[in-house]
Amino acid sequence: MAGRTKWTWLAAGAAMAGAAAFAAQGGFGGNGGGEARPMVQLPPAAPAAKASTSAASAPAAASLSATVGGYTYDWTALQSAIDADTEVDNGYFIVGNASDPDYLFAYEKGSFGIDRVTPLASASKWFAGALGMRMVQAGIATLDDPMRPPLAFWTTIGTKKDVQLKHALSMTSGFNASPLVGGCQLLPAMTLYNCAKSIHDLRYDILRPGNAPGAQYSYGPHGLQVAAAYLEAKDISIAPGTSPARQRNFHELFAQHVTTPLGMTSTTWYDPAGSAPTNPWVAGGAYSTPRDYAKLLRAFLGGSFITDMTSFTQQRTAGLPRVFVPASAGNWEYALGSFVECDTPSACATSKINSSPGAYGWTGWIDRETGYYALIATEISSGGDRKGVELEQVMQDLIEDAIANRTPAP
């Protein structure tokens, strides 16, 4: 895909309030005057840098090849491009497919281990889409579900009454008109239900001309917070072992439907150095590892974890007025928790590339046409929001070339 546009990325999670927003999330208190915890909880230093293909390690060489699934791939150009990038000093890079359990390519640059727990920022959004689709698949919800009655406070008048789960997950709910003002998603001591009520009461712009569910595209955190509250309220199953008995909370639903089935043992919707908040920051507060996130991407690509991949990955914002969308997102459209990547608006209708970049540069994507998934796992304190997508675009061309030119193994 030569000549792919190189977009500059701006993650709304960071844009809302920059480092202060992350500090508010990390503080888990929302007391305003107290001293917040550090913005990022870093794990211990990883081992010395190494290059690897699949589980094997190898030193950098003039030619770097790997044999996986009966084919030999030449990753020399890809690793050289990663090494040449002076803005990403530390990171873990993975390329895989749905059929082979081994990675096609895995490389640690600098010091960034495959099990390093890292804040995802807006890369968290794909988790929300996945949880929603898994609960739809389980028959608990539908994408066309209205917010009421599970969210009993929801209005029965005006256009707001027509918000459905699909709108809340696709940035078309009618909320998010001014995501820079923040909101209750940064108050972890609240409950999801009460935060959704606050968003319902304060964040729907009834004065905005033409505002209605499904009528405008506005990127931000509020719709996803509402979707999470709805899913938590919609599920009435009892959490095992609770006394007195209670319904599963959001974290337990995420574990039941996403992390446990995939064996994602180091993924949470909060800083694991703390405790699970009753009001997690759904659009930007998750933590994971390269190993865990790659499991999710592989599952997406496989098509059995989420069986209706068309509904999950298709554009849902085509032709809509763009009220608030990062200028850096260019012509990309939005699906359920992920972007649909394309060079022109018309190309998004047939694009098979979905991604969910984060403010610190963490960027995972799937390419269902070429048949691979890939991950840039990194944590860049400044400029990561731009750098992750820039490097992703370079890598996409090189990965496509390596796959197109693979050779049968002897």
d(CA 162, CA 273): 39
Q: What is the pLDDT of residues 360-410, one digit of tens each?
A: 999 999 999 999 999 999 999 877 878 999 999 999 999 999 999 999 998
* CA atoms in the 13 A half-sphere facing the CB of 382: 0
CB atoms within 10 A of CB 377: 30
Q: What's the total number of domains in the chain?
A: 1
In a domain, 1, yes or no: no
**What phi and psi, each to the nearest 5 degrees, are found at residue 366?**
-125, 140
Quick check: 179 pLDDT over 60? Answer: no
In a domain, 51, yes or no: no
d(CA 376, CA 213): 33
Q: What is the mean pLDDT of the chain?
A: 84
In a domain, 80, yes or no: no
In a domain, 222, yes or no: yes
Question: Would you say 320 and 176 are in contact if contact means Cβ atoms under 8 Å apart?
Answer: no
Q: What is the pLDDT of residues 118-133, one digit of tens each?
A: 999 999 999 999 999 9
In a domain, 53, yes or no: no
Q: Which two tokens stand for residue 147?
A: 């917010």
Please state, in angstroms and as integers, the Cα–Cα distance from residue 294 to each residue in 102, 365, 373, following that order: 11, 10, 8
DSSP designation for 144: T
Q: What CATH number does the domain containing 125 carry?
A: 3.40.710.10
What DSSP assignment string belongs to 35-49? PPPPSS---SPPPSP
| Domain hosting residue 228, numbered range | 111-365
In a domain, 277, yes or no: yes
Percentage of residues of the chain with pLDDT beyond 90: 71
Q: What is the pTM of this model?
A: 0.85
Which amino acid is present at 12?
A
Please state, in angstroms and as integers, the Cα–Cα distance from residue 335 to each residue in 19, 172, 246, 309, 389, following that order: 27, 10, 33, 11, 18
The mean per-residue pLDDT over the stretch 236-262 comes to: 92
In a domain, 167, yes or no: yes
d(CA 162, CA 81): 48
pLDDT at position 376 is 98
In a domain, 5, yes or no: no
* Max CA pair span of the chain: 68
Coil, strand or helix: which one is 384?
A: helix
Taken in order 224, 154, 250, 17, is the CA torsion positive or negative?
A: positive
Which amino acid is present at 346?
S
Q: Determine whether 33 is exposed, middle or buried from the number of CB atoms within 10 Å of its CB (0-12, 13-18, 19+).
A: exposed
